[in-house]
Amino acid sequence: MNTLGYVLLSLLSVKPYTGYELVQIMQTASWQAKHSQIYPLLAKMEQEELLTFEHVEQIGKPNKKIYSISDKGVALLKQWITESPATPIIRDEFLMKMYAISLTDTETAKRLVQERLSTYKEKADSREAAIKSLEQENNENIKDITSKHFGRFIFFERRLRLEKEEISWCKWVLSLLEK
């Protein structure tokens, strides 16, 4: 089992999802993968009895498979969580462009930072909405580790803070570029 497998287990530990949904969720999470990687892996994990799936026939839409984590999957996931994580991998093209930004003119620099700012404003907005709905849907105390939603709460909060930080950095750089 590779890390992606454990990531899928983590997501499915909250509730059952289709492969299609997992792709969407991962886009705004801290691990990305394309459907071509996810579908075969889900099938493999189902064969290894870490997951089960339910076939759902639909009208007007393609049929789907809803995957759930098994007891064996939960046990494996629990064990993985306790192990020390590998150092995060970041591949940020934009930031590498900033590294050599003096090669370009101020206008291009401003445009790039402005684009980045807009992107992250949108991201932060939808993240805030996600946190709010998580809070509203659960009257219980999600700020307690015993809550089923605690993990997602601190996770979303982490991502939101990153996004806000990005926005504040962009504004700071723009102010330097205005001079």
Partner DNA sequence: TGCTGCATGTAATGTGTTACATGATTTG
Partner DNA sequence: CAAATCATGTAACACATTACATGCAGCA
Interface with DNA (CB under 7 A): 2-4, 18-21, 24, 32-37, 39-40, 42-43, 58, 60-65, 89, 91
Q: Which does 139 bind (CB under 5 to 8 A by kind): its own copies, DNA, none?
A: none
Ordered strands of the 51-56 beta sheet: 17-18, 64-69, 51-56
**Is residue 137 close enough to count as binding its own copies by CB under 8 A?**
no
Q: Closest separation between CB of residue 63 and its own copies, Å?
A: 28
**Is residue 177 close enough to count as binding its own copies by CB under 8 A?**
yes
Q: Closest separation between CB of residue 30 and DNA, Å?
A: 12
Point out which span in 34-42, 47-55, 130-138, 170-178 binds its own copies (CB under 8 A).
170-178
Q: Closest separation between CB of residue 13 and DNA, Å?
A: 18
Cβ atoms of 177 and 101 within 8 Å: the answer is no
Q: Which of residues 80-109 bind its own copies (CB under 8 A)?
A: 80-82, 84-104, 106, 108-109
Instruction: Provide the CB-side half-sphere exposure for 170 (13 A, CA).
Output: 19
Q: Please, is 135 exposed, middle or buried when counting C-beta atoms within 10 Å of its C-beta (0-12, 13-18, 19+)?
A: middle
Q: Which does 47 bind (CB under 5 to 8 A by kind): its own copies, DNA, none?
A: none
Cβ atoms of 128 and 167 within 8 Å: the answer is no
Contacts of 67 (CB under 8 A, 6+ apart): 12, 16, 17, 18, 19, 22, 42, 46, 51, 52, 53
Q: What is the Cα–Cα distance from 149 to 169, expressed in whole angstroms?
A: 30
Nearest to 33 by CA among 71, 9, 7, 53: 7
Nearer to its own copies among residue 133 and residue 168 (C-beta): 168
The contact set with its own copies (CB under 8 A) reads 3, 6-7, 9-11, 13-14, 29-32, 74, 77-78, 80-82, 84-104, 106, 108-109, 112, 115, 119, 143-152, 154-155, 157-159, 161-162, 165, 168-169, 172-173, 176-177, 179
